[in-house]
Structure 1
Amino acid sequence: MKKLLTLLAYFVVGASCAQTKPTQVLLVGTFHFNNPGADVAQVNTFDVTTPKAQAELETLADKIHLFRPDKVFVEWPWNEQRDLDALYAQYLGGTYAAYVTAKYPKPAQRDFYLKNEIFQLAFRAGKKLNLVRIHAIDYKTDFPGDSVMNAMKAARQEKLAKDVASQLATYQASTNKKLETYTLTQVLLDMNTPESRAFDNSFYLTLMNRAGTADAFVGPFLVAEWYRRNLYMYSLVQKLTETPDDKVMILAGASHTALMKGFIDADKNFEVKELKAIVRLKP
């Protein structure tokens, strides 16, 4: 019996020693630099092409380089990785702007490929890190926003509809003021605070999940689809992060990273590294 207990203790201690420390995940929640107007809340445009914004992006990329993530994950369709690879190859070769300008003559398309945070920050940091690939993790799901609002109307949920409109208006006004008065770095830091994340998450559970009559579930369906999209995105982060990866980075819309913060907190294999800690790093 004593030998058995000794053997069990050996295995327990051995398993404990074999456990690796959690992979650090730098969460960078952001607004969309090119502002395509696809989000529920409509906010003003922030011009990231100005010299000041470009200098800030260069500094942020340098800070990310000091953190040294082994992989960078971005909000790009997961099944279009080849397209992202082709764009990144152009960026690494120094021909990105000319390539995009020639390939996308329509202003809206060109604006996306020149200004979006993937190309302005993730590609910039990836090149400094000598990464061979930027990983796509976005997964599109249904988002019946109009149906949810119609369900509120049918259920005579006037107060709920007003609360939704009020919260969107509050978010838009607050964000627009920050975009007008904050530096780019200050905006990003603000979007990655516990308060901002709580605001993002509460919109879905506190308001949208209640939409409709007792026998209508379009509200919970929308919330479930939102969770599903982010769970699928996080699943890709889990599956693409390999044993040698000590650190990774996720760059996505702030509403995505707000939800992912909870996923990471519940996942013993990962731990969050906040943006505010990264900007304080010294060479």
Structure 2
Amino acid sequence: MNKLFLFLQLLIVSQLQAQQKPLYNDKFPDAVQVLNFGTFHMGYTPDANTVEFDEHNKKNQEDVHEIAKMIAKFKPTIIIVEDVPENNHLVQKAYQDYLNNPKMKFEHPSEIELLAFELGRLSKATRIYGIDHQMGYNYMIGSQVKGKVNDDSYEKYFAMVEREEKKLNYDNLSLLDKLKVTNHPQYLDFLLNVNADILTYVSTEGNFEGADEATKYYHRNIRMFSNLNQIELKTDDRVFILMGASHTAFFNDFMKRSPRYKLVDPFLYLK
């Protein structure tokens, strides 16, 4: 009886594994390796939600540089940041100035100057590009639409998130642990939801107020992805992308399906 039970268990496991086995190869053989890394904005940001972080504090800057040392083991050849392509000449000049003088002071440093520049210096990356595309949208629409229908899930979701965030004690975590939370797959899914998908529960009868706002954020991110795809890459390039984590969440989805890119797990380097 026990042998029969064990045999049935093994049969079920093998069937499940067979179901999960890829049906076909969906990546180019020379797919470019990408480390897609999410962060909070370390300097000024117009975003509604911010993380308390003094970008001028020496200890904070040292902590960021320690993160850069960890990620430098990936050896990126190209750095991608959250800035518009129209500013590429300014970003590249500032980066070159930093390479010439790593002790230089920035008046308003952000994660670009603090993390991306230092990572690029350590890995000897010579190319840095911005891929942002600015588009406005109202992710607070859920609290503004009157006469909503089917909004129970929307309200319950935010109440649940608030409870769970308190358990994380995020504000008291070290920088490394904050970034581990930020890049956790479940947290990235949360960012997709809170910035877009959950808005589909916000509507008045016969209308799509929330869905239309969510579409704008999808629109912005897919345009950013298009900006990335316009950058010339060689098969031996290794790309590091540094953006606000909601964009990271979208890009993970895009890149999982893209034949051109092969995602690298950031937790291989966040030791």
Distance in 2, Cα, partners of 1:69 & 1:217: 42
Secondary structure of the structure 2 residue equivalent to 1:268: coil
Instruction: Say yes or no: does 1:178 pair with 2:170.
Output: yes
Instruction: Decide which of 246, 249, 252 is 1:258's aligned counterpart.
Output: 249
Provide the rounded CA distance (Å) in 1 between the counterparts of 2:140 and 2:66.
41
186, 203, 210: which one aligns with 1:212: 203
The corresponding residue for 1:118 is 112
Q: TM-score, normalised by structure 1?
A: 0.75
Cα distance change of structure 1 residues 204 and 240 upon mapping to structure 2, 3 Å threshold: same
Counterpart CA distance in 2 for 1:211 and 1:91 is 46
Asked if the contact 2:255–2:261 (Cα under 8 Å) also holds between the matched residues in 1, the reply is: yes
Deviations 1:242-269 (A, max 9, x none): 1234310110111111111111111122
TM-score (norm 2): 0.78
**Is structure 2 residue 74 aligned with structure 1 residue 30?**
no
State the Cα distance separating 1:63 from its structure 2 match. 2.6
SS of the aligned residue for 1:240 comes to coil
CA contact (8 A) 1:149 1:211 kept: no
Query: Relative to structure 1, is the Cα distance of residues 171 and 261 closer, same or farther in structure 2, using a 3 angstrom cutoff?
Result: farther
* 1:130 paired to 2:124: yes
Q: 1:138 is paired with a residue of what secondary structure?
A: coil
Instruction: Give 1:215 deviation, angstroms.
Output: 2.9
Report the equivalent of 1:201: 192
The 10-residue stretch of structure 1 (54-63 or 194-203) with the greater mean CA deviation from structure 2: 54-63
1:216 offset after TM fit, Å?
Answer: 2.3
Counterpart for residue 136 of structure 2: 142
SS at match of 1:134: strand
- C-alpha change, 1:140 and 1:168, in structure 2 (3 Å) is farther
Matched ranges for 1:227-238 at <5 A:
227-238=218-229
Higher helix fraction (1 or 2): 1
- Counting matched residue pairs gives 245
Which amino acid counterpart does residue 69 of structure 1 have in structure 2? P
Cα offset, 1:184, TM superposition: 0.8
1:76 is paired with a residue of what secondary structure? coil
Match of 1:63 in 2: 70
CA-based RMSD of the aligned residues comes to 2.8
Structure 2 letter corresponding to 1:34: G
Partners in 1 of 2:140 and 2:162 — Cα distance?
A: 17
Matched residues in 1 for 2:257 and 2:226: separation? Answer: 13
Unaligned residue ranges in structure 2 (runs of 5+): 1-24
The 1-side partners of 2:265 and 2:253 are apart by: 13
Q: Summarize the Cα distance change of 1:144–1:128 in structure 2 as closer, same or farther, 3 Å threshold.
A: same
Kept in 2: contact 1:77–1:139 (CA 8 A): yes
From 239, 245, 250, the equivalent of 1:248 is 239
